[in-house]
Amino acid sequence: MSSSVSASAYRCMRLIEIEQQGYSDWNALTQIPQASSSPVFSRVDDVEEKTEKNNLEQSLSQQPGTKKYLLMGDVAMDGARLLDTIILENGDISLILDKTVFHPQGGGQPTDLGVIRAASAEFMVKMSKEDRTTGIVQHIGSFSYGGIEDLRGSSLRLLVDVTRRKEMAAIHSAGHILDVCMVRLGFALKPTKGYHFPDGPYVEYEGTMSPEDRETLPRKLTAKMREIVSENIATEIRFLPKAEAQTLCSDADLTMFSERALVRVVAVAGGWCPCGGTHVGSTEELGPISVTRTRSKKKTLRVSYEMSA
Ligand SMILES: [Zn+2]
């Protein structure tokens, strides 16, 4: 059961986002050139990581649009290239690059923030968003100095706001752990939605629970989640052929992936599921977590949590 919760929430949110995308000119943007410069990795330490980097490269080569090197947790990159720009109605500028380390808002997880720099320009990214059909990521924001012409033809440096990345990754990872703990407590409810923003994160499940169980659930979940945090369990990320991913994530619906695709699967606290979000390196990074309340409406159970004692 644990393998499907975050995945289902992820898919759910992404489907909602596809419907909400308001841009009409995506078709014109799908024919962008492929990345030509070599990626810069920051964490190639040993054979196992190199293997995963190779798998990441293979996985990225299968994906359309912007190549998303954040998938191994990277927060900085050199050598990105500007492919296109869009001037939005509100005056903001959207930059489309050949590759990125910015996490696009989605899967119930907020956008990364940060800067894109060239020799004589700096662009402040206040929203990164991905068109799910084309895979193209927009970096929306404004220039603190310089302008679009200073980016054209330049090798761009991308720097993610690491403090915010860690905070958002922690909130999202806590959702994974909540899921793991629901299973450990014997509540195998089907997940339907995840909301991992700072202003009241929660996970929703399809199904009902007795009033007695609902009343004691926050206390039990809080205790179980803190137990997992103290165990300092390392997060694992793999890119696997679909069949292997399905074996690890037996309840997950992988029909969206082609048979030849490498699927990114993530285990936070040992619970494997397909996920495109950002995560803590180990559970201890989460600090104190509290499950604050449950809400039952029709056949939906919402479990809310916060990242504090
Ligand atoms: Zn995740």
Domain shared by 133 and 218, yes or no: no
Residue 231 lies in a domain: yes
Domain contains 52: yes
Q: What is the mean pLDDT of residues 35-63?
A: 58
If you measure from the C-alpha of residue 105 to the centroid of ligand 1, how many angstroms do you get, rounded to a whole number?
A: 13
Indicate if 135 and 176 belong to the same structural domain. no
Q: For residue 58, what pLDDT is reported? A: 77
Token pair for residue 89? 């109605």
Sequence-separated (6 or more) residues with CB below 8 Å from residue 238: 52, 55, 248, 264, 265
- Of 160, 178, 206, the residue at which a domain comes to its end is 160
Cβ–Cβ under 8 Å, residues 114 and 144 = no
Give SS3 for 37: coil
- Any idea what the CATH number is for the domain that residue 139 is in? 2.40.30.130
Q: Say yes or no: 154 and 174 in one domain.
A: no
Are 176 and 279 a contacting pair, CB within 8 Å? yes
Last residue of a domain, one of 160, 176, 201: 160
Q: Do residues 145 and 198 both lie within one domain? A: no
Q: Does residue 20 form part of some domain?
A: no
CA–CA separation, 217 and 219 (whole Å) = 6
Question: Do 155 and 64 sit in the same domain of this protein?
Answer: yes
Task: Classify residue 78 by burial, with Cβ atoms within 10 Å: 0-12, 13-18, 19+.
Answer: middle
In this prediction, residue 96 carries a pLDDT of 97
pTM: 0.80
pLDDT digits (tens, 9 = 90+) for 234-249: 999 998 999 999 999 9
- Is residue 5 over pLDDT 50? no
Cα angle, residue 54 at apex, residues 52 and 58 outer, rounded to 5°: 110
Give me the phi and psi of 117, to 5 degrees please: -120, 145
Rounded to a whole number, what is the distance in angstroms from the first to the last CA of the chain?
A: 27
| Cα of 71 from ligand 1 centre, angstroms | 11
Cα of 81 vs centre of ligand 1, distance in Å, is 28
Give mean pLDDT, residues 187-192: 86
What's the domain range around 94? 31-160
Using the mean position of ligand 1's atoms as its centre, give its distance from the Cα of residue 34 in Å: 27
The answer on 155 and 169 residing in a single domain is: no
- How many domains does the structure of the chain reveal? 2
The first and second tokens of residue 191, run together, are 């997940």
93, two tokens: 């500028």
Distance (angstroms) between ligand 1 centre and the Cα of 158 equals 22
Q: Is residue 16 part of a domain?
A: no
> pLDDT-based confidence at 292, cuts 50/70/90?
very high
Q: Assess whether pLDDT exceeds 80 at residue 128.
A: yes
Whether 63 is in a domain gets the answer: yes
Q: Are residues 61 and 94 in the same domain?
A: yes
- Domain for residue 289, yes or no? yes
Structure tokens at 108: 């119930």
Rounded to the nearest whole angstrom, what is the distance from the C-alpha of residue 249 to the centroid of ligand 1?
13
Tell whether 298 and 242 lie within a shared domain.
yes
Expressed in angstroms and rounded, the spacing between residue 274 Cα and the centre of ligand 1 is: 8
Whether residue 7 contacts residue 250, with contact meaning beta carbons closer than 8 Å, is answered with no
Name the phi and psi angles at 241, rounded to 5. Answer: -55, 150
CA of 89 to the centre of ligand 1 (A): 33
Which residues, at least 6 apart from 255, have a Cβ–Cβ distance to it below 8 Å? Answer: none
Distance 156 CA to ligand 1 centre (A): 28
| Number of DSSP helices (H) and strands (E) in the chain, helices first | 6, 16
* CATH number reported for the structural domain that contains residue 229 in this entry: 3.30.980.10
How far is ligand 1, taken at its centre, from the CA of residue 213, in Å?
27
Q: Which two tokens stand for residue 274?
A: 């397909």
Residue found under tokens 């359309």: 64
Are 191 and 280 found together in one domain?
yes
pLDDT for 1 beyond 50: no
Residues lining ion ligand 1 (Cβ < 5 A) are 275, 277
Give buried/exposed letters for 112-151 (b at 16+ CB in 10 A, else e): bbbbbbbeebbbebebbbbbbebbbbbbbbeeeebeeebb
Question: What six digits make up the tokens of 78?
Answer: 């050199």
Report pLDDT digits (tens) over 192-225.
899 999 999 999 999 888 999 999 999 999 999 9
Same domain (yes/no): 178, 297: yes
* Distance in angstroms (rounded) separating the CA atoms of residues 29 and 269: 39
d(CA 203, CA 194): 4
Domain boundary among 131, 160, 189: 160
Q: 72 and 110 share a domain? A: yes
Q: What is the pLDDT of residue 156?
A: 98
